[in-house]
Amino acid sequence: MACQLIRIMRPDDANIAGNVHGGTILKMIEEAGAIISTRHCNSQSGEHCVAALARVERTDFLSPMCIGEVAHVSAEITYTSKHSVEVQVNVLSENILTGAKRVTNWATLWYVPLSLKNVDKVLEVPPIQYAWKELEEDGKKRYEEQKLERLVTKQRNGDIIFPVFNPEPYTVGYSQSSLIHLVGPSDCTLHGFVHGGVTMKLMDEVAGIVAARHCKTNIVTASVDAINFHEKIKKGCVITISGRMTFTSNKSMEIEVFVDADPFVDEPKERYRAVSAFFTYVSLSKEGKPVPVPQLVIETEDEKRRFEDGKGRYLQTKAKRQVQMQPLTQQ
Amino acid sequence: MACQLIRIMRPDDANIAGNVHGGTILKMIEEAGAIISTRHCNSQSGEHCVAALARVERTDFLSPMCIGEVAHVSAEITYTSKHSVEVQVNVLSENILTGAKRVTNWATLWYVPLSLKNVDKVLEVPPIQYAWKELEEDGKKRYEEQKLERLVTKQRNGDIIFPVFNPEPYTVGYSQSSLIHLVGPSDCTLHGFVHGGVTMKLMDEVAGIVAARHCKTNIVTASVDAINFHEKIKKGCVITISGRMTFTSNKSMEIEVFVDADPFVDEPKERYRAVSAFFTYVSLSKEGKPVPVPQLVIETEDEKRRFEDGKGRYLQTKAKRQVQMQPLTQQ
Amino acid sequence: MACQLIRIMRPDDANIAGNVHGGTILKMIEEAGAIISTRHCNSQSGEHCVAALARVERTDFLSPMCIGEVAHVSAEITYTSKHSVEVQVNVLSENILTGAKRVTNWATLWYVPLSLKNVDKVLEVPPIQYAWKELEEDGKKRYEEQKLERLVTKQRNGDIIFPVFNPEPYTVGYSQSSLIHLVGPSDCTLHGFVHGGVTMKLMDEVAGIVAARHCKTNIVTASVDAINFHEKIKKGCVITISGRMTFTSNKSMEIEVFVDADPFVDEPKERYRAVSAFFTYVSLSKEGKPVPVPQLVIETEDEKRRFEDGKGRYLQTKAKRQVQMQPLTQQ
C-alpha cells in the first residue's frame, strides 16, 4: 500500500532566490518513508515498533522546486529482508496555476524496526508479496550491495574538520563550516531519537553554506550520495554538523558532511560520529542556469587524496547516468 | 479530482497532554482546500488566480488526535457558483502502530478566486460536472443559505472586548484574553495576504487559553461555528485576536473570538474586523474523559444576552445532531 | 572551550523589510550560552544538571542583520562563582555572497546549574582556569555588581499595565500591547521549563509591536537593558507579555516589557512576575536610515516619572558609550 504526502512550499522552505532547499525535500521523503515502513512493520500482531532510518541511497535532484508549488511525495515498499525494509519514494512538483507537473526526485531508503519497549532491540519485518519473482531477486541484490557498502563506510568515519586561520579564497579552509544544534522535542520521534529527516535537513543546510561561501552565487542541491545512519541520535544531545569541500568539476561542487553527537546531559557516553555523506551542489545564474564554479585550491596531501576520490565518484556517476539515460531516450 | 494531505503529528502540533490542537487540524483542512480550489480555478485558460478562504461551515471535532498519529486530510470540490467554490474535507486519524483509523472531522469551506494581477478582483469559476442533478441542486441550496448567513453576521461585527480589573473567578472578565500577532512572510500566500488556516489556528489558540483559564484543566476543541472571512488580512498588519466566554453547559464552554487587523505599515487605513466565530471546548480529566466545567458567572445585561444566544446555539446543535445521528444508525 | 553556532537567516527570522528580529538574535545567543554552560557544569563527575538563564547584561545591537546572511554566534565561559557561570557571546553577520563580516552583538549572560533530579536545587559549578589573575578579579567584580542589581530590580516588579479606552495618538495608552502565549513542548528544555531565549524572543516581539504602533514605520531593536530572570517558567503555563513606551528621544524609543506567568494547569499557584526589561528601538526609513520618532505624549504623573527614569538611562548609556568609543578609535 502506497503512502502519499502533499504539501505546499512556503517561503521558509526555500532560499532567498525562491528555490526549495534540498534538505526540505529530503525531510519530506523521510517522513513518507517512516510512515509507510512503521505502518508495515506493525501490520502483524506482535511487539509494537517504530521504523528508524538506516540508509538513504544516492539521490538526484532532477529539477528545482519553487515557493508556491505543491510537492507530491509518494512512497512504496519494494523489498523486505528479515530485519529491514526498502522504501522507494518519488517526488513530483506541481504548479497549481498552470497545472504543470515535473518529477523532481527518486529516492530509496532503508528502515529498521526498533522495539517500542527497548529502542536498542531490532524486531523482525513481516514479508511483503511480490508481483513477480524477479522483483524479489532484484531487491535481494540491492539489499546485499547496501549491506556491504554500509560496512565499508563505517570504517572511513574517523576524520574531523580542523579550523584554518586566515584561509585563502577558494581553498578548503576558506569555505568549511560547522553548525551546532541542540536537539529539541520537535526534532524527535515519540521514542526519543532524532528523525532521520531532521538530520538530513541540517546536513543540507551546512553543505549549502559551504557551497555559497565558495562560489558566492545562488546554489542548489544537485544530488546526495548514499547516507548511512551508523547510530541513533538521542534526545538531549548537542549535534555538530560540519562540511568541507572535497571536489569541484566545471559546474559542480562536492561537499563532505559529518554529523557528530555529544550526549552531554544524562549520559557519560563519548562524542560519536552518527552520519556522514557527500552532497553535490551546482551554481546558478540569476536566470536559473548552471554557471561555472571556481576551481577548488588544494593545499595538503589529504586534500589532494580527497579531491581524487571525489573525482572518482564524479566520473562514476557521470558514466552511470549516461547508461541510465539510454533506455529512457529509447522509450 | 480529490486532493489528499498526509502528515504525522509532532509535539509542536499538540498541547502538553499530547492532544493535537484544533487549530492545527483547521490549518491542514484549509491547506487542502486552498490547493484543490486554486488548482480548479486555474484549470481553464484565462487569467491566473489564487483561491482565498471566504467561509468555513460549522465543524465538529469528533474525536481527539494524538502526537505520533498520522492525519489524512482529503478534500473534494462539491459545488461551484459563478464566483465561489465549495470544498468538502474529511480528516482521518491513523494510529500506525495498531493500524486503527478514526474519523476526526468533516468540514465544508467556501473559496473565492482572486486575480493574481489584482487581488481585489474576483474571477469566474469554471463549472464542475455533477454525477447526479440532485447534487447540483443541493449545492445551490447550501450556497444560498451561506450567502444569507454571511450578510447577517457581517452586521453583528461591531462588538469589542473591554478589559476588566480584578475580576472574580468564573466571570467573563476573568478568562477573557487577547493575543497580538505581527504577520510574517510564512503566514502569507505569495500574493501577500494571510492564509485562512493561519488565522483559524490563532483563533483556536486564543479560545483554548480562555477555556483553560476558566476551568484550569486539559481542554480540547469540540466544534467551531461557521467562520466568515469578511476581509483579507494583508502582509505587514498587526492582528489582534480576542476571546471571551459566552456560554457554559454542563460539560462544554462556548467562546466568541474576534480578529481585528491594524494595517499599520505603509497604509493609512483604519483597524477593521476581519473574522469572528464561536468555538466550543470540553474539559478532560487526566484519563481523557470529559468532566463538568464550572458554570460561567454572569454580571451584566450584555453577558446575559450573549449567554442566552449561546444557549440557543447549543440547543439547536444538540437537536440537529440527534436528527443526523438517526440516519447513520439506520444505515 | 568555546562553542560556536552558525545559522542562515530565514524569512521567518525577520520582519517584512528583511531585518532580522532582535529576538531571533537573543534566542541564538541564549542557545549558545545554554550549551556551553550546561556542558561545563556537567564536566566533573557528580549529579547531572542543566544550566538555566538567570540574567543577561545590557546588550547593544550594533548593526542590523538581513535575511540570507549567516549568523556566527560564539560563546565562551569567562567567570565562575560557586553557583553561577558567566558566558560572553559575540555575534558576527556574514554575507556569504560578498564574504563581508560585521560584528552585530556582544552579550554577557549568567547561568545557574539546576539538578536534573530536582530542578529546584542549585548545584555547584566546577571552577575554570584563568590565564591571568586579573581576569578572575574582574569577573568577581562583575559578579558582585550583577548580584546587587538583581536584588534591586526584584523589588521594582509590582507594576502592571492598565488598559486605556480610546487613547489619543502618541500617548502611552495608544501603543501599549499585550500578548498571551501558551507554553508548548518546543518552548521548553527537556526538563520542563521555558528556554530563556524563547522568553526574550517574545519580549522583543511585544516591544516591536509597541514601537511600530507608535511610529508606524519599519523599526529595529537597538539595545536591551539588563534582563533578570526572577523565576523559572514551567511547562503548561500561560504567559502574558506586556509592553508600554516609557521614553522617546529624538531618534529612539524605550519600551518597558513585563512577563507574567499563570501556572494554570495542575498547580494552584498564583500568577507571578517572571521577567522584566527595557528595550530600545529605532525607526528606519525605507532606505534603512534612522529617522526621527514622534515625541511620546505624557498624560499622568506615573508616566512622567517613568519618562524621567528612561531619560536618565538614555543619558547614562550615551555617556558610557562616548567613554567606550575613545579607546576603540585610538587603537
pLDDT exceeds 60 at position A114? yes
Q: Which range, of B106-110, B234-238, C29-33, C99-103, averages the lowest pLDDT? A: B234-238
Q: Which residues pair with C5 in a beta bridge?
A: C73
The pLDDT of residue C329 is above 60: no
Mind telling me how many Å the CA of A261 is from chain C's nearest CA?
13
Q: Verify whether the Cβ–Cβ distance C185 to B265 is below 8 Å.
A: no
What's the mean per-residue pLDDT of chain C? Answer: 87
Cβ count within 10 A of residue A255: 28
Radius of gyration of chain A measured on its C-alpha atoms: 20
Contact A3/B6, CB-based, under 8 Å? yes
pLDDT given at position B202: 93
State yes or no: pLDDT of C36 exceeds 70.
yes
Using only C-alpha atoms, what is the Rg of chain B?
A: 20
Cα–Cα distance, B279 to B214 (Å, whole number):
14
Q: What is the pLDDT of residue B326?
A: 57
DSSP annotation of B140 reads H
- Where are the extended beta strands (E) located within chain A? 3-8, 49-56, 59-61, 70-80, 85-94, 101-115, 177-182, 218-224, 227-229, 238-248, 253-262, 272-284, 290-291
A92's grid cell: 513530483
pLDDT of residue B1: 59
Block residue for cell numbers 462539491: B78
| CB atoms inside a 10 Å sphere around CB C263 | 20
Q: What is the pTM of this model?
A: 0.80
Residue of C nearest to B214 (CA): C264
Beta strand spans in C117-199 (E): 177-182
Per residue in A17-51, pLDDT (tens digit) is 888 999 999 999 999 999 899 999 998 878 889 99
- CB-based contact C88:C79 (threshold 8 Å): no
Read off the pLDDT of each residue in C138-142 and give the average, rounded to a whole number. Answer: 95
In this structure, what C-alpha cell is assigned to residue A136?
Answer: 524479489
Determine the residue among C43, C72, C96 to mutate to test chain A binding: the one whose Cβ has the most chain A Cβ atoms within 10 Å.
C96
Burial class for C240, CB neighbours closer than 10 Å (0-12, 13-18, 19+): buried
Whether the pLDDT of residue A327 is over 80: the answer is no
- Name which residue leads in pLDDT, C301 or A182: C301
Q: Is A99 on the interface with B (CB under 8 A)?
A: yes
B117 in contact with chain A, both atoms CB, cutoff 8 A: no
Range B55-75 average pLDDT: 91
What tens digit of pLDDT does each residue of A200-233 get? 999 999 999 999 999 988 899 999 999 989 888 8
Q: Are strands C290-291 and B3-8 parallel, antiparallel or unpaired?
A: unpaired
How many other C-beta atoms are found inside a 10 Å radius of the C-beta of residue A108?
20
* Contact status of C205 with chain B (Cβ, < 8 Å): yes
Q: Do B238 and C179 count as a contact with CB atoms less than 8 A apart? A: no
Percent of chain C with pLDDT over 90: 51
Contact assignment for B14 to C185 by CB distance below 8 Å: yes
Q: Which residues of chain B lie closer than 8 angstroms to A116, CB-CB? A: 97
The pLDDT tens digits of the residues spanning B161-203 come to 776 777 888 999 999 988 888 887 778 877 778 899 999 999 9
Best-predicted range by mean pLDDT (B173-187, B196-210, C229-243, C253-267): B196-210
Give the integer Cα–Cα distance in Å for C41 and C123: 9
pLDDT in tens, A168-202: 999 999 999 888 888 877 788 777 788 999 999 99
List chain B residues with CB under 8 Å of A96.
35, 38-39, 42
Strands A49-56 and A227-229, sheet pairing: antiparallel
CA A97/CA B45 separation, integer angstroms:
10
Mean pLDDT across B71-94: 95
Contacts of A264 in chain C (CB under 8 A): 38-39, 42
Give the span between the Cα atoms of B76 and B95, in whole angstroms: 24
Q: Which of A137-146, A157-166, C86-95 has the lowest mean pLDDT?
A: A157-166
Give partners of B (≥3 CB pairs < 8 A).
A, C
Q: Of C234, C265, C236, C235, which is closest to residue B284 (Cα–Cα)?
A: C265
Give chain B positions within 8 Å (CB) of C16: 183-185, 235-236, 265
Q: Is A45 on the interface with B (CB under 8 A)?
A: no
Q: Answer with the residue of higher pLDDT: A281 or C1.
A: A281
- Asked if A30 and B4 count as a contact pair (C-beta separation under 8 A), the reply is no
CA distance to A217, B29, B38, C12, per residue, from A12 (Å): 19, 20, 21, 6
Contact C185 A186 (CB under 8 A): yes
Of B8, B67, B97, the CB nearest to A42: B97
**What's the burial of C22, exposed, middle or buried (CB within 10 Å: 0-12/13-18/19+)?**
buried
Query: Dihedral sign, CA of A282, A288, A290, A292?
Result: negative
**C13 catalytic residue (yes or no):** no
Question: Rounded CA gap, B254 and B296, in Å?
Answer: 10
- Decide the pairing of beta strands B272-284 and B227-229: antiparallel
Please count the residue pairs, one from chain B and one from chain C, whose beta carbons lie less than 8 angstroms apart. 77
What pLDDT, in 10s, does the model give residues A269-324?
778 888 989 999 999 988 888 999 999 999 999 999 999 999 999 999 888 877 76
Question: Is residue A290 within 8 Å of residue A217, measured between CB atoms?
Answer: no
Using an 8 Å CB-CB cutoff, list chain A residues near B38: 96-97
Lowest-pLDDT choice from A265-269, A325-329, C148-152, C208-212: A325-329
Instruction: Write down the pLDDT at residue A330.
Output: 43
Within 10 angstroms of residue B221's Cβ, the number of other Cβ atoms is 27
* Alpha carbon A4 to chain centroid, angstroms: 19
What is the CA C271 to chain-centroid distance, rounded? 22
State the number of CA atoms in the 13 A half-sphere of C227 facing the CB.
31
pLDDT at C171: 94
Residue of C nearest to A212 (CA): C96
How many residues make up chain B in this entry? 331
Interchain pair B186, A4: CB under 8 A: no
Closest CA of chain B from C32, distance in Å: 22
Which of B4, B5, B8 is the mutation pick for testing A, counting most A CBs within 10 A?
Answer: B8
Q: Does A265 contact chain B (CB < 8 Å)? A: no
Check residue B91 and give left, alpha or beta (phi > 0: left; psi -120 to 50: alpha). beta
Radius of gyration of chain C (CA): 20
User: Is position C90 annotated as part of the catalytic site?
Assistant: no
Q: How far is B9 from chain A (nearest CA, A)?
A: 10
CA distance A123 to chain B (A): 14
Q: Which residues of B touch C178 (CB under 8 A)?
A: 178, 180
Please provide the average confidence, as pLDDT, over all residues in chain B.
Answer: 88
* Given the residues B13, B187, B204, B225, the one annotated as active site: B204
Average pLDDT over residues C30-49: 88
**Active site positions of A, annotated:** 15, 204
Phi, psi for residue B194 in degrees, rounded to 5: -70, 135
Grid coordinates given for B184: 510574517
> Smallest Cα–Cα separation from C234: which of C256, C265, C209?
C265
Terminal Cα distance for chain A, rounded: 28
How confident is residue A166, by pLDDT bands cut at 50, 70 and 90?
confident
